[in-house]
Amino acid sequence: GAGVSQSPSNKVTEKGKDVELRCDPISGHTALYWYRQSLGQGLEFLIYFQGNSAPDKSGLPSDRFSAERTGGSVSTLTIQRTQQEDSAVYLCASTLGAPWEAFFGQGTRLTVV
Amino acid sequence: SQELEQSPQSLIVQEGKNLTINCTSSKTLYGLYWYKQKYGEGLIFLMMLQKGGEEKSHEKITAKLDEKKQQSSLHITASQPSHAGIYLCGAPQRTSGTYKYIFGTGTRLKVLA
């Protein structure tokens, strides 16, 4: 596609529910990144994919968080049993690979009530 | 692991004033990227610096890379309200033969008209 697309753009969920966030990277981009940005904070690295494998999952905050990527394209970030502290903007970025620039999606604003 | 430290964390300037934002890496830089994020929106790529001593400009924004100091500076000349937002530096971090992007915590800029 023309850019990185994330869906939904906004998600309000009840505490304890599971949510799935989707990222459609730019076609042909081999690397895909997930970040989390809490209100007024910087970007917190969560996980990145090279192709369909995830060389680094070190940023996932807990085992309630998981992510997968299929076909070297779309990625899904799943948060199980959401908690209020999970409320944040979740950003996805894709790149041909370092050291090329990363293109970011508009993010998914998750609110856990 | 590598970290990127930005300074200052926040900045309020009068319209027309010049300002500088710094980004310092704790490890060797393999390129440095500057992004801007308007409040509530996604990240916009500004500039990429790959070689020591490299300097790039876009409109009234100039960025330089000092490889020896492992530092980059972003300079805005004659600031305008449209420059307001969060400025983030990012860098590819080499890990186990692959790269992932890390980001600084950001500098929040407010320009008073």
Q: Tens digit of pLDDT for each residue in A62-83? A: 999 999 999 889 999 999 999 9
A16 CB contacts (<8 Å, ≥6 apart)?
A: A81, A82
Interface of B with A in 10-29 (CB under 8 A): none
Model pLDDT, residue B101: 81
For every residue of chain A, DSSP letters joined together read --S-EEE-SEEEE-TT--EEEEEE--TT--EEEEEEE-TT---EEEEEEETTEEEE-TT--STTEEEEE-TTS-EEEEE-S--GGG-EEEEEEEESSTTSPPEE---EEEEE-
Higher pLDDT, B100 or A47: A47
What is the average per-residue pLDDT within A8-19?
Answer: 97
Task: Label residue A1 by pLDDT band (50, 70, 90).
Answer: low
Greatest alpha-carbon pair distance for chain B in Å reads 48
B37 has pLDDT over 60: yes
Of the candidates B30, B45, B88, which has its C-beta nearest A99's C-beta? B30
Residue B18 confidence class, pLDDT cut points 50, 70, 90: very high
Which pLDDT value is given to residue B1? 66
How close B51 gets to chain A, by Cα (Å)?
A: 12
State residue B2's pLDDT score: 65
Which residue of A lies nearest to B50 if distances are taken between CA atoms?
A99
User: Considering chain A, what is the average pLDDT of its residues?
Assistant: 91
Query: pLDDT at residue A98 above 70?
Result: no
> What percentage of chain B carries pLDDT values higher than 70?
94
Work out the percent of chain A whose per-residue pLDDT is above 90. Answer: 67
Confidence of residue A99 (pLDDT cuts 50, 70, 90): low
Q: Give the CA angle between residues B19, B48, B20 to the nearest 5°.
A: 10
Q: Using CB atoms, which residue from A50, A91, A105 is nearest to B98?
A: A50
